[in-house]
Structures are given as structure tokens and as C-alpha cells.
Chain A
């Protein structure tokens, strides 16, 4: 894979996993029309875990994490996030969405708002934070992702990497307990991938629970505590990175890894 992850500075000692359960998925199934996208998914995520989900395109990995904050509706089974069950109750959905941040492949910043306004919008309107307070928090967060000087620019004026860091800051301003990453570096030029991964490492070191769909295997090796391989809507194999990469059990995993690590 790309070299951008080779120089990631990761301090494993700062990351620790607790026994508390952040996400519990039981026998979850999803269909698009007659297309069975997710089959019998069972997954328990503890607080502080960093899980990397990989798999070929169309394997349902994006759909899985999009189900966790109800961007997609599951038809069967149970999803419990932070003790709240995800069902058709809109209040529960709102609560879960406020606790779960999400990063998109195409950033999805709001182009008509400045960087600062992007970051303060949800705290002000969802959390009902006073504007001054929200702006102060937003500035701190922007410093954390190392772009405080861009606060008053519009997203279109920033580079891709900067935009994705703003998107991370936008999530962090809501002070989420869990963050979902849907291929956060796929739309970026190679030289910008590292700046985004650096921020993600920083989050991991801060103890954030993370579910990351990505092809950055270097990131998976160094940061993840668990790597999960999905194919045809099922979780085929999951293990610690060391075991997963050096001693895969399943044939499909071996094939996938040989293809993706060949370059």
C-alpha cells in the first residue's frame, strides 16, 4: 500500500480498552429490495476499541457502519448503541446520532457555511450550547486538528486534507463517544492522506471508540486493536492485526490480503 502510513507515530500505551460495551449488534440483517446486503451480523464493540473494517467493494462494510447511526435502516436483528436501542423511535435515533460522529469519503462539509460555522452548527442547534461557548470549543478543536487559521474560510477554499480535518473537527465539537469513518482517505491525494491519518491517530490515543472502513493497511497494523474482514454481507474473519495479517484463517481473507498487499 501507500507509504504515507510508514511514518505514523503511534503510542500504543495511551490506548486502553475498557469492559464497557459501546456497540452491541445481534443477528442484524439488511436488504436493499431483494438484495441481501448484510447477513446475520454479530458484533460487540467495547469502549476504546479501534476496529478497522476491510473487504472488497460491495461487501457491505459501508452499509454496516451506516446502520449504526441509522443512515440506513436494518430490517432484522438488534443494534444497541451506548445502551440505547436503535429502533423506529425518532427520539432514540436523535440521541444516538448526537453520540456518534461520522466521517464521509467525500467530506460533506456544508459549502455555504464557514469552517467555524460548520463546527458550531450542530452544538448550537442540537445540543443547545450558547454560541460563544460553541465557538470557543470549535476553535480549540480546530487547533487540535491543526487548522485554526482557516476558521473563517469557506470549505471550497481548503485542500482535500484540510477539508477532511475540518469534518473531523465538526464531529469532535459534538463531543461524540464513538466515531465512524467511511473510507475517510479514499478521495484524497496521496500527500494529504497522512495529515488526516495523523489526526485519527491522535483521536485513538485520546481513547476514542473508532470504527474505520479503510484500505490503509498500515493504519490498521499500527492503530487498530482488531481488524475485521467482510465479504458478501458477512463478517468472514476478525482478529488482532498481527494475527490477521500474518496468519489469516479463511481462504477468502487470504485471497483478499494477497491482492491488496501485492503492490
Chain B
């Protein structure tokens, strides 16, 4: 737009503010306009207030006021509550979380080696930084490329580090491993599938469509069954993969189908003129895809990719069904111990809140990106 305003009619000053009529301001007006605007709205308001009053105070009371953080067992919890608030009073027994916190986060990972997954997590953030922020120096991408190998040895051991068995890995650590590996590995496959689906070559297009629609048409759990009972059949006789690896393979295939659809949306959002301009300059298919098409399509797809990741991260809880010990898979073993037999709400609530924090913050991030993209264009 033109930036030189040489217009004759420009306001010389601002109109001074003046107070609106009293009926248009103040809490009474706000209540009238927002809560008691008509009969239906008033009923809804009253019903909502009643529901809040009935639900919230007892919950707060149960969670915070009567909650117990230090006890050795469920009966211990009950004794503490009885001593503090009298017989027959119920309260949350957070002591179970307190005692089993490490287990819910790391599974049965040896406690003296906790520094290794923590270090791997910190390094992961460092490896993601140059991918997310293009202002950082380019050599950091080499670190990002080397990160998966480093993370593998940090978590499983080897190269002089003490070896940790797959069976010992569990808890949130396992969810993060499966989720992050799945999403990262699915990105290149998803790109290839999306490009293939756009291809004018009938056979290549068909392969991609069949793969994508097949994966999207079946529930993840059936693919996890494939991982747990079938995948080894497909390998040459004598070879067999670790269960976590097999799950990661299937989760990657699962995510790549969804990723392909997200990226396809990004490709479709591109103006046809971009392809034509690249052609007219003499760039061939691969060069124009790499230099012109993908950078733009991927940028548009980022919110979708984050949403796919949220979905995948939530879906990692399904591995508990085939016997892996992610946070959900750990609940029953904990509830089966003598000390915590009969505990229910606290564990589920804790795991739910754990996932909620991760997913909610990521979904806010993706919304922020979406807004930013809209203003960028």
C-alpha cells in the first residue's frame, strides 16, 4: 500500500472521551446483558451456578483440604484423614502419586540412571530448536541429525553406558519415546506419500492412496496387534525385533498416513502460479519441490502437524492394551499391590492431568501458530 499520506482532510485531534449512560455500564448492566438476557438464558445461568456450587466445593475439599500427600499405603492415608478430620471423612490419597511418581514417569528404569533419559529429553529440546527457529545457525542442524543416535544410546545404553532392557522402560518416558519417534519418522514418509498422492502417475498415486486409506480406515489398536503378534512373521526367519521397536514401526506407519493428509492440505493451499513460475525458470520437478513447493507447504502444515502429534501422543496410551507399561499400563500393577489396593480416582486423575497439561499446551501452541500464519499471509 502507498505509504505517503498527503491528504487534505485529516483529523486535527481526538474527540474527547465521554461517559456513556449509566444503564450501559457497571456490573448490573453486565449481568443483565450476559447472564439474565431472557428467560432461557436466566434458567441456564441458574442451572450452571447450581451445578458449580454442587460440584466444585466438594471437589476442592476432597482434592486439596482433605488430601494426604505422605503415607505408606491406602490404609495409612485413611488413618491420617481420620486423625485430622474425624472418622468417616473421605479425602484424596495423593500419597500413591508421591510414592510412585518416579515409576509413572520412568517405568522400571534403574533410578541411579535417571539422568540419562532426562539428559536425552533436554538434548531433544536443543535438537528441536534449530528446526523451529530459523534464526539459529545452520550448523546446529547437524546436531539435530545426530540426535536420534545419541538418544538411542543414552536411553538403551551401550558404547560404555550400562545397558537398560526394553522391559524396564515405561511410564511417561515410553509415551514420549513412542510419540516423538513416531511423529519425527513419519514426517519424511508423509511427505513422500503426499507427493505421491498428488502425482499424475496413476500407479504411484494408487499405491499411495491405498496405503493412506488403509491405515486411516483401521483403528490403531489393530495395527498394534499386528506389531505384537504379526510383525515378526514378515521378517526373514530367525530375526526378531524388540516389542518397543515393533510398536514404533507401526505407530510411524500410522502417523505417516495422517501426516500425508495434513501435508496434502498444505500442498493444495499453494497457488498454482508457484508451480508455473518454478517451471518457467527451468527448475526440474525435484528442485522445484525442494526449493519452492515444500518449504511453503510445510509452513502452512505446521499447525496440522502439531495437531497430529497431539492425537498421536494421546494414542500412545493404547500400547497399554498390548502389555507395554506406559502410564496407563502401570495403573493396574500399582492398584494390584497390597499397599494401594482399592485406590482409584487419584491414579486416573493424575495420569489424565499429566496428559492434559501436555496436550492442552501443545494445542494452544498450534492455535497460536495458526493465527500467526493467517496474519503472515
The answer on direct contact between A and B (beta carbons under 8 Å) is yes
Binding site for B on A (CB under 8 A): 69-71, 90, 94, 97-98, 100-102, 104, 106-112, 121-122, 125-126, 156, 159, 170-171, 174
Partner pick for B282 among A94, A107, A110, CB 8 A cutoff: A94
**Chain B interface category by residue count:** 20 to 34
Max chain B C-beta neighbours (<10 A), residue from A71, A97, A110, A159: A110
Could you give 22 example pairs across A and B, Cβ below 8 Å? A94-B282, A97-B280, A97-B281, A97-B282, A101-B280, A104-B277, A104-B280, A107-B273, A108-B273, A110-B274, A111-B296, A112-B295, A112-B299, A121-B283, A121-B291, A125-B283, A125-B291, A126-B281, A126-B283, A156-B376, A159-B1, A174-B282
Q: Provide the bound-state CA to CA distance between A170 and B292, in Å.
A: 14
Q: A110-B274, A159-B1 are in contact. Are A170 and B282 (CB under 8 A)?
A: no
Nearest opposing residue in chain B for A110, CB measure: B292
Q: Cβ of B284: which chain A residues have Cβ within 8 Å of it? A: 90, 94
Q: Cβ of B291: which chain A residues have Cβ within 8 Å of it? A: 121, 125
Q: Cβ of B281: which chain A residues have Cβ within 8 Å of it? A: 97, 121-122, 126, 170-171, 174
In the complex, B279 has a CB within 8 A of chain A = yes
Please give 11 more A-B residue pairs, beta carbons under 8 A apart, in addition to A121-B281, A170-B281.
A90-B284, A104-B277, A104-B280, A108-B277, A110-B296, A112-B295, A122-B281, A159-B1, A159-B2, A174-B281, A174-B282
Q: Cβ of A97: which chain B residues have Cβ within 8 Å of it? A: 279-282
In the complex, B287 has a CB within 8 A of chain A = yes
Partner pick for B280 among A71, A107, A159, CB 8 A cutoff: A71
Q: Cβ of B283: which chain A residues have Cβ within 8 Å of it? A: 121-122, 125-126
**Shortest distance between the CB of A104 and any CB in chain B (Å):** 6
Contact: B279 with A71, CB < 8 Å? yes
Q: Provide the bound-state CA to CA distance between A98 and B284, in Å.
A: 11
In the complex, B271 has a CB within 8 A of chain A = yes
Q: A108-B273, A110-B274, A110-B292 are in contact. Are A102 and B282 (CB under 8 A)?
A: no
Contact: A98 with B280, CB < 8 Å? no
**Shortest distance between the CB of A82 and any CB in chain B (Å):** 13
Which residues in window 243-292 of B have CB below 8 A to A?
271, 273-274, 276-277, 279-284, 287, 291-292
Q: Provide the bound-state CA to CA distance between A174 and B377, in Å.
A: 28
Contact: A98 with B276, CB < 8 Å? no
Q: Provide the bound-state CA to CA distance between A174 and B276, in Å.
A: 16
Q: Cβ of A159: which chain B residues have Cβ within 8 Å of it? A: 1-2
Q: Cβ of A170: which chain B residues have Cβ within 8 Å of it? A: 281
Nearest opposing residue in chain B for A124, CB measure: B291
Q: Provide the bound-state CA to CA distance between A122 and B292, in Å.
A: 11
Partner pick for B273 among A106, A122, A156, A174, CB 8 A cutoff: A106
Q: Provide the bound-state CA to CA distance between A107 and B274, in Å.
A: 9
**Shortest distance between the CB of A124 and any CB in chain B (Å):** 10
Contact: A71 with B276, CB < 8 Å? yes
Contact: A108 with B274, CB < 8 Å? yes
Contact: A69 with B287, CB < 8 Å? no
Q: Cβ of A121: which chain B residues have Cβ within 8 Å of it? A: 281, 283, 291
Contact with A along B1-32 (1 / 0, CB 8 A): 11000000000000000000000000000000
Q: Cβ of B271: which chain A residues have Cβ within 8 Å of it? A: 106, 108
Q: Cβ of A70: which chain B residues have Cβ within 8 Å of it? A: 279
**Shortest distance between the CB of B28 and any CB in chain A (Å):** 48
Nearest opposing residue in chain B for A90, CB measure: B284
Partner pick for A108 among B2, B276, B299, B377, CB 8 A cutoff: B276
**Shortest distance between the CB of A69 and any CB in chain B (Å):** 6
Q: Provide the bound-state CA to CA distance between A121 and B288, in Å.
A: 10
Q: Provide the bound-state CA to CA distance between A101 and B291, in Å.
A: 19
Q: Provide the bound-state CA to CA distance between A108 and B273, in Å.
A: 6
Q: Provide the bound-state CA to CA distance between A122 and B279, in Å.
A: 10
Across chains A and B, which 4 residue pairs bring their CB atoms closest together, nearest first? A108-B277, A97-B282, A108-B273, A102-B280
**Shortest distance between the CB of B263 and any CB in chain A (Å):** 16
**Shortest distance between the CB of B282 and any CB in chain A (Å):** 4
Q: Cβ of B296: which chain A residues have Cβ within 8 Å of it? A: 110-112
**Shortest distance between the CB of B340 and any CB in chain A (Å):** 55
**Shortest distance between the CB of B16 and any CB in chain A (Å):** 37
Nearest opposing residue in chain A for B277, CB measure: A108
Nearest opposing residue in chain B for A97, CB measure: B282
Partner pick for B277 among A94, A110, A156, CB 8 A cutoff: A110
Nearest opposing residue in chain B for A104, CB measure: B273
Q: Cβ of A109: which chain B residues have Cβ within 8 Å of it? A: 277
Q: Provide the bound-state CA to CA distance between A97 and B285, in Å.
A: 13
Contact: A126 with B282, CB < 8 Å? yes
Q: Cβ of A126: which chain B residues have Cβ within 8 Å of it? A: 281-283, 287
Max chain B C-beta neighbours (<10 A), residue from A90, A106, A156: A106
Partner pick for A69 among B1, B274, B280, CB 8 A cutoff: B280
**Shortest distance between the CB of B117 and any CB in chain A (Å):** 37
Contact: B282 with A122, CB < 8 Å? yes
Nearest opposing residue in chain B for A167, CB measure: B277
**Shortest distance between the CB of A62 and any CB in chain B (Å):** 11
Nearest opposing residue in chain A for B1, CB measure: A159
Nearest opposing residue in chain A for B280, CB measure: A102
